[in-house]
Amino acid sequence: MVIKVNDLDLQDRLGMTSHHPRWAIAFKFKARQATSKLLDVEFQVGRTGSITPVAKIEPVHIGGVTISSISLFNEDIIREKDLMKNDTVLVERAGDVIPYIVKSLAELRPADAVPIVFPTKCPTCNSQLFKEEGEAVWRCINIECPAQVVERIIHFTSKDAMDIRGFGDANVRKFHSLGLLEDIPGIYKLDFDQIGRMEGFGAKSIDNLRSAIETSKSQPLHRLIFGLGIRFVGETTAKTLAQSVSHLKEFTNYSVEQLMQLEDVGTKVASSIHHFFNNPQNLQMLDELESLGLQLRNTKKDKVEAGGLSGQTFLFTGTLPTLKRSEAEAMAEAQGGKLLSGVSAKLNYLVVGEDAGSKLEKAKKISTIKILNEAEFLALINR
Ligand SMILES: [Zn+2]
């Protein structure tokens, strides 16, 4: 909660320090705690295969909400906090909304307390679990693990990704368990006749679902990239990626080094992206999504959302087949592009026409410069 002086004149008179206004102050509530009994621990499989232990506790009310389920994050936490089933635990819900277990009250440990055994096999597909050096998280590395598939589909349909309204976790789980939905492309091949015969699906809800799925096909590229759930690729990186290509599959030609030249992309992120675009199954999925009508091109909408060609630099050389040099330059500038007069590492795009000479030769030696012909230039600016 932030308490503010609600008189604008007084606010003016109070002014600012170099850090903050003198007329506003944060009021922090004390953390709220309660005790409960740790009944059981479930092991959930995330979309990247991570195994998360989740404590099931006797329902307890803290700060107006009932808590019965608490993430324990990883195996180390269970050890560090010395948790056992049937223990009395101290639960805290601080200012934020995620509750956590502070500790178990060892002095109240009952005789029937049971140690928590972390599984060595995936609770869903029974594959052997792995833990990487230096990581605290155990993973199921079976890419076809049904639990991961479901989580990936849920992520794809979620609000920040493809935003397919009315789909929801429950429907994904239900359709998957009935064999109606097996992978991400399956979203666009749902058998609505069969769904229509299921309980709880009226004509209206089917119509809504069908049109929400249809609408999602034209979501901008960065939402699709985020929805693919590539490890370490959040919404910001997804936007950077979408801006860097005119078609998503161009990334199959990017090396890890080229990826690392993109804004805020480090080694870890670059190798994850590289890995994704070199997996034949993933490429097959992208082809299938495109043939189902999804947008894999960088459309104008995408660029407007991501800030157009703003700050990108252009140089034109040679005679273009249809455009005059001045027209082409104006088009680049109209979208926020800047014109350079010579080839250097600062140049992003060299657009070449007939009889391009030394500039082209020079540009070929600088790997970061993208060399386009007129058609590719027009595609880039969506004309
Ligand atoms: Zn598994």
Q: What is the pLDDT of residues 272-303, one digit of tens each?
A: 999 999 999 999 999 999 999 999 998 754 45
- Total of domains in the chain: 5
**Average pLDDT over the chain, rounded to an integer:** 90
Q: How far does residue 159's CA lie from ligand 1's centre (Å)?
A: 25
Asked if residue 140 is part of any domain, the answer here is no
- The answer to whether residue 121 sits within a structural domain is no
- 20-29, 48-57, 210-219 — which is least confidently predicted? 20-29
In the structure, ligand 1 is a single-atom ion and the residues with CB under 5 Å from it are 122, 124-125, 140, 142, 145
User: Domain with 252 in it: what CATH number?
Assistant: 1.10.150.20
Which runs of consecutive H residues, i.e. helices, occur in 307-365?
325-334, 358-364
- Residue 148 CA to ligand 1 centre (angstroms): 7
Which of 289, 304, 319 delimits the end of a domain? 304
Mean pLDDT calculated for residue range 105-122: 93
Instruction: Tell me if 130 is assigned to some domain.
Output: no
End residue of a domain, out of 216, 250, 274: 216
Q: Are both 225 and 208 inside the same structural domain?
A: no
Residues 19 and 92 in one domain: no
Question: For the segment 170-193, what is each residue's pLDDT rounded down to a tens digit?
Answer: 999 999 999 999 999 999 999 999
Kindly state whether residues 42 and 109 are assigned to the same domain. Answer: yes
Same domain, yes or no, for 225 and 294? yes
Distance 78 CA to ligand 1 centre (A): 21
Domain that holds residue 298: 221-304
Parallel/antiparallel/unpaired status of strands 138-140 and 129-131: antiparallel
Q: What is the pLDDT confidence band of residue 140, given thresholds at 50, 70 and 90? A: very high
In a domain, 246, yes or no: yes
240 CA distance to ligand 1 middle (Å):
31
1 pLDDT above the threshold of 80: no
Q: What is the pTM (predicted TM-score) of this model?
A: 0.67
Cα of 282 vs centre of ligand 1, distance in Å, is: 18
At position 167, the amino acid (one-letter code) is F
SS3 133: coil
Q: What is the mean pLDDT of residues 14-24?
A: 86
| 211 and 163 housed in the same domain | yes
Query: How close is the Cα of 118 to the center of ligand 1, in Å?
Result: 14
Q: Quick one: residue 193, left, alpha or beta (phi over 0 = left, psi -120 to 50 = alpha)?
A: alpha
Separation of CA 126 and ligand 1 centre (Å): 6
Instruction: Please tell me the distance between residue 44's alpha carbon and the centre of ligand 1 in angstroms.
Output: 10
State pLDDT tens for residues 256-265: 999 999 988 9
- Going from the Cα of 139 to the center of ligand 1, the distance in angstroms, rounded, reads 8
Residue owning tokens 């007084």 = 10
How far the first Cα of the chain sits from its last, in Å, is 49
- What sign has the CA pseudo-torsion 296, 301, 306, 307? positive
Above 90 in pLDDT, residue 336?
no
Question: Per-residue pLDDT for 322 more than 80?
Answer: yes
φ, ψ for residue 315, nearest 5 deg:
-145, 135
Percent of the chain at pLDDT exceeding 90:
69
In a domain, 135, yes or no: no
- Which of 269, 304, 339 corresponds to the end of one domain? 304
Cα–Cα distances (Å) from 262 to 240, 274, 304, 343, 371, in that order, read 7, 13, 19, 20, 17
| CATH code assigned at 350 | 3.40.50.10190
Does a structural domain hold residue 25? Answer: yes
Q: Is the pLDDT of residue 26 over 80?
A: no
Dihedral pair phi/psi, residue 88, rounded to 5°: -85, 130
